Amino acid sequence: MASAAIYSLFIINKSGGLIYYKDYGSAGRTDTNDSLRLASLWHSMHAISQQLSPTPGCAGIDLLQADNFDLHCFQSLTGTKFFAVCETGAQNIEVLLKVIYELYTDFVLKNPFYEMEMPIRCELFDLNLAQVIQKDRVALLGR
């Protein structure tokens, strides 16, 4: 079981622009253009799903299940979306996304050199994110 549960991670701002992208699996590597397209596509789908939903007060798609992957999405109150493409049936991704959101609030939003809604280039965020993903991997292997 060499591959981790999570394949890739996206963070998109409230207007659908990709502000962070990270690849983790060797399979399914996407180039920059594809990841940008995927990010804005997901943003629109998420918005449409809110309007199409038969239940009132729907916040959008949380989980998309496909044959070969699961896509978990977490939307913060300000509209920033965190979504991860994972192995099918991967557990605890919602928790992981919330932890990543926490890292974002700490190491991106409290950084005076970060401009809101712009691509994230923060060394500390990268460092701590790598640690969290690594920990998640270890926990997964231990299971």
Partner 1 sequence: MIGVGKAKQYANVLDKPLSRGRQEVSLSAFAFLFSELVQYNQTQVDNIAELERRLEDAGYAVGARVLELLCHREKGNRRENRLLDILLFIHSTVWKVLFGKVADSLERGTEHEDEYMISEKELLVNRFISVPKDMGAFNCGAFVAGIVRGVLENAGFPAVVTAHFVPIEGQQRPRTTILIKFAEEVLQREARFG
Sites of contact with partner 1 (CB under 8 A): 106-107, 110-113, 121-125, 127
Which CB, 40 or 111, lies closer to partner 1? Answer: 111
| Distance of closest approach, residue 126 Cβ to partner 1, in angstroms | 8
| Distance of closest approach, residue 109 Cβ to partner 1, in angstroms | 8
| Distance of closest approach, residue 120 Cβ to partner 1, in angstroms | 10
Nearest to 90 by CA among 66, 117, 112: 66
Q: What are phi and psi of 122, to 5 degrees?
A: -130, 120
How far apart are alpha carbons 5 and 46 in whole angstroms? 23
Which CB, 99 or 140, lies closer to partner 1? Answer: 99
Residue 65, classed as helix, strand or coil, is strand
